[in-house]
Copies of this chain bind each other. A is one copy, B any other.
Amino acid sequence: MGDFEMDRKVLETHASPQTQRDLSLFFEPQSLAVIGSLREGYFGGYVVIKTLLKAGFEGRIYPVNPSYQEVLGLRVYPSIKGIPEEIDLALMIINRRSVPNVMRECAEKGIKAVVVVSDGFAERDEEGVRLQEEIVEIARQVGMRIIGPNTAGIANPANGLIPDPYEMGYERVKAGGIAICAQTGMINPQAFPYADIRYGVSKICDYGNKCDVDECDLLKYLENDPATRVITMYLESIRDGRRFLEISRRVTSKKPLLILKSGRTKEGARVSVSHTGSLAVDDQIFDAACKQAGIIRLETFHELFELPKIFVSQPLPKGNRLGIVTFTGGVGVLAIDEGEKYGLSVVKLSPETRTKLNAIFPDLGKKIVDIGPAMAVINNYMDIYSEILKAVLLDDHMDCLLNIIWTSPFEDFVEEYLKFYDGLKGSYQKTIATWIYGPSLSLIHKMSYRMEDLGFPVFSNIETAIKALGIAYQYSNRKKGGA
């Protein structure tokens, strides 16, 4: 397995590239078999079932284990063949050596979709490589599809399918328009506070060792998934670069596709190529290919969990004219620098707007609308804040707004803001990205989440907020360019 012993995606023999059936059995099963230990604890089949019940899974759950009669009020079946119904999806968390036999039972039962959570396959040792080849062969013979092995699993919050194997309060994951996929469990809810930051997802998929289902299969499924409004992916390798870009080109004519790719540097790429031998070797080539295919590239891990938000609650900007409302002129040049990276240009507001702003407070009607000086000396602050924001948002010279909010450490202050934004929501046609700063971290967080609830995406850094507007602008150009 080479010098660098990466614990994932070593062997990527493709089970059934000819199988064109989509992945809806994985994400919308009517019946689900959970095969594995039912011992209580933080990890395993018991947790899967507990979370499914809490999340209100809409399908029927069939626990499979020879040693139990009943778990959490559900009847337990000693084996798969004993289940009296057709099974759409099987999920197994069992010892790796048991997987091939259980796969065969699944095949006999006619199951067409299996998630193999179990690890210890091609990512571990020679025996694991052989076991992985074996299950791929079993699946190929009957047209069964596999997600995994070595995966933290999948999720579809809309129907309560949150069968992840860790006890983590998954049932709180909010349904929304963002699909997130990766060859790592770092995107699953045991790793990321989806609920806390109100990150609404349509589908989550860690495709693990991708012995069968891969990035292309997922793209094709998500392309036509009506719940998915934006797709974000973390890739380490791409099995078939040409096919991936072809599908991506089609997908991006319908919805935005955001990709973080590792293996960008020489050493990283060396590791990547040793696993895949595929397109992703030269980062510059990949970059150019992304541009052609309309893919938006991400640069950091946290962007996976922030930037897609701009596409689910905000309209696309009609042009590149950036407005800035702030409490400090000091971030002006920063905003200009960052905006220029994405083709955004700080707008001069219309003469009418500038007159309106100057009437509210002297010198307010500038390129960068700095509320700071007014803030310090005016009593009816929130009235004025409201007038300023509305004046700027109505200006047709502006396409998108970088909305910088300073918040005090006083709770009532935050409530006033939220009251205003509650009234504002839905009444404008501009793309708004918000960054909140101030002296109290807990209030910044509280205000951020409630702003998100109101439909205003809040970003953790000023540069990320600007990038969100930048990629929204770039994607609006992609859409104009035609499908």
Contact = CB atoms under 8 A, between A and B. Distances in A.
A479 interface: no
A439 to B, nearest CB: 4
A442 B449 CA distance: 12
B336 A461 contact: no
Interface stretch (A1-9, A13-21, A103-111): A1-9
Interface in A257-303: 262-268, 271-272, 300-302
B328 A262 contact: no
Interface string A183-209: 111100111111111000000000000
Contact of A169 (B332, B346, B373, B439): B439
Nearest to A182: B330
Interface stretch (A27-35, A69-77, A364-372): A364-372
Contact of A331 (B184, B272, B377): B184
A254 interface: no
Contacts of A461: 300-302
A327 to B, nearest CB: 8
B168 A439 contact: yes
A355 to B, nearest CB: 15
A340 interface: yes
Interface residues of A, number: 83
A423 B123 CA distance: 34
A336 B169 contact: no
Given A4-B367, A267-B345, A328-B184, A377 B333 contact: no
Contact of A328 (B185, B373, B377): B185
A263 B340 contact: no
A186 B7 contact: no
Contacts of A243: none
A217 interface: no
B328 A191 contact: yes
A43 interface: yes
A189 B331 contact: no
Contacts of A265: 336-337, 340-341
A5 B302 contact: no
A363 interface: yes
Given A330-B184, A461-B300, A441 B193 contact: yes
Given A194-B439, A263-B337, 19 more contacts: A4-B367, A7-B332, A7-B363, A125-B363, A169-B409, A169-B439, A170-B439, A185-B328, A186-B330, A186-B437, A191-B437, A196-B440, A262-B333, A268-B337, A301-B331, A301-B461, A302-B461, A441-B445, A460-B460
28 contacts: A5-B366, A5-B367, A6-B333, A7-B329, A8-B329, A166-B376, A168-B408, A168-B439, A169-B409, A169-B439, A186-B330, A186-B437, A192-B439, A193-B438, A193-B441, A194-B439, A236-B330, A263-B333, A265-B336, A266-B340, A267-B345, A268-B333, A271-B332, A271-B333, A301-B331, A301-B334, A301-B462, A302-B462
